[in-house]
Amino acid sequence: MIDIKFLRENPEIVKENIRKKFQDEKLHLVDEVIELDAKSRAAKTEADDLRGKRNTISKEIGALMAQGKKEEAEQKKAEVAANAKRLAELEEQEKEYSAKVTEIMMVIPNIIDPSVPVGKDDSENVEVTKYGEPFVPDFEIPYHTDIMERFNGIDIDAAGRVAGNGFYYLMGDIARLHSAVIAYARDFMIDRGFTYCVPPFMIRSNVVTGVMSFAEMDAMMYKIEGEDLYLIGTSEHSMIGKFIDQIIPESELPKTLTSYSPCFRKEKGAHGIEERGVYRIHQFEKQEMIVVCRPEESPVWFDRLWQNTVDLFRSMDIPVRTLECCSGDLADLKVKSFDVEAWSPRQKKYFEVGSCSNLGDAQARRLKIRIQKEDGSKYFAHTLNNTVVAPPRMLIAFLENNLNADGSVNIPEILRPYMGGKEKLIPEK
């Protein structure tokens, strides 16, 4: 959420930012919020004046009563009563205008970083760098669920009977590989100085609206019926929410946390053939990283975060690339975002396995996460998040890039301690 003072003083910059995000239908909101803000501030000014007069007149009434001037005192009391009625009206107006301002400000997109390429949608995202040599073996690579089935490692039919579409059972070595990747990612981030955390898997509505846009909330979140609780779509929601309404001493920054959680997503809409299996599902597990830092440090942390994901995948010899999200592909709260994509030898192209985002002070402003300097002054923190690894998609990349012609799957040395020392997975059928 943009600072209302910034919008008030720079309406054309805000409008140009909206145009860059190809959301022209929101342009009128800038003028609307300026008008409402002016009415809110005018109501507040008049109300403050009336409160000041009330205090002054109250003292005058006391003095008049002490002097025995009862008639004049009664006139003053009548003036106070009239002012009280007007004050009540102004307080209600101020509350109404302020609520409308907040409502509109929540849907005006955050100011994107000047370095973000302008583009309408994800088809105009820009490749930044490739890491590792993509390859295509001289044998056919089956679809990922077919590979898993050779190890008796997945049962989608049973999951469909139990929970419906978008769920799965992982079994045996495939389930163990899934857990191994999560455990390795946890230790990888701990070794990089992040504090490990297992957060709540449900959050209240005020946290949901603090960490994401309304459009994202509607498309992603599952609501717990009869409760003010939502299942998290990613542990970032819960981890950033940890600091809601907090004043953090500047000396304690940065806050660097890595978290494990299951994730629950509606995943609305129809998906293509490449998104069946475990590519786009309603439930999965993930290792995440978040940072709360000073504003001037967030660009440096942004680069560190996506590099962590690149390094993790490269430690398992999986080719990856980074892709910068263009203006039209950025969620409204984001200042800048990179996707990390892994190479698929079967599809002969890259696909998304992680996303790194700098949200500036948007989440902190919504959640009231403030930093206190030594002199006592306060400012809003910057928040960032990034996927360390999400094993369902990671498993696709892993299996395709480590598959042998005989159907076996190599286990990289770095993962063997988490797999009981196994160097290969041998198919059962």
Cα–Cα dist 313/324, whole Å: 18
State residue 64's pLDDT score. Answer: 63
Return the ∠ at Cα 105 (arms to 99 and 106), rounded to 5°: 90
CA distance 360 to 288: 18
Contacts of 20 (CB under 8 A, 6+ apart): 112, 118, 327
- The span from the CA of 220 to the CA of 306, in Å, is 23
pLDDT per position in the chain (429 positions), as tens? Answer: 899 999 999 999 999 999 999 999 999 999 999 999 999 999 988 888 877 777 677 766 676 676 777 677 667 777 767 777 878 888 888 889 999 999 999 999 999 999 999 999 999 999 999 999 999 999 999 999 999 999 999 999 999 999 998 899 999 999 999 999 999 999 999 999 999 999 999 999 999 999 987 777 778 899 999 999 999 999 999 999 999 999 999 999 999 999 999 999 987 654 554 456 787 889 999 999 999 999 999 999 999 999 999 999 999 999 999 999 999 999 999 999 999 999 999 999 999 999 999 999 999 999 999 999 999 999 999 999 999 999 888 999 999 999 999 999 999 999 999 999 999 999 988
Paired residues of 349 in beta bridges: 344
- pLDDT tens by residue, 135-153: 999 999 999 999 999 999 9
pLDDT of residue 60: 67
The predicted pLDDT at position 232 comes to 95
Q: What's residue 276's pLDDT?
A: 65
- Quote the pTM value: 0.88
Q: Which domains does the chain have, with CATH numbers?
A: 4-105 (1.10.287.40), 122-425 (3.30.930.10)
- Give every strand in the sheet of 336-344, ordered side by side: 126-131, 320-324, 336-344, 349-358, 382-389, 283-293, 255-264, 195-197
pLDDT for the residue 330: 94
Pairing outcome for strands 230-231 and 202-203 = antiparallel
Note the pLDDT of residue 273: 47
C-alpha angle 155/158/160, rounded to 5°? 105
Chain center to CA of 168: 26
Q: What is the pLDDT of residue 270?
A: 44
Reference 411, options 317, 344, 345, 340; nearest CA is 317
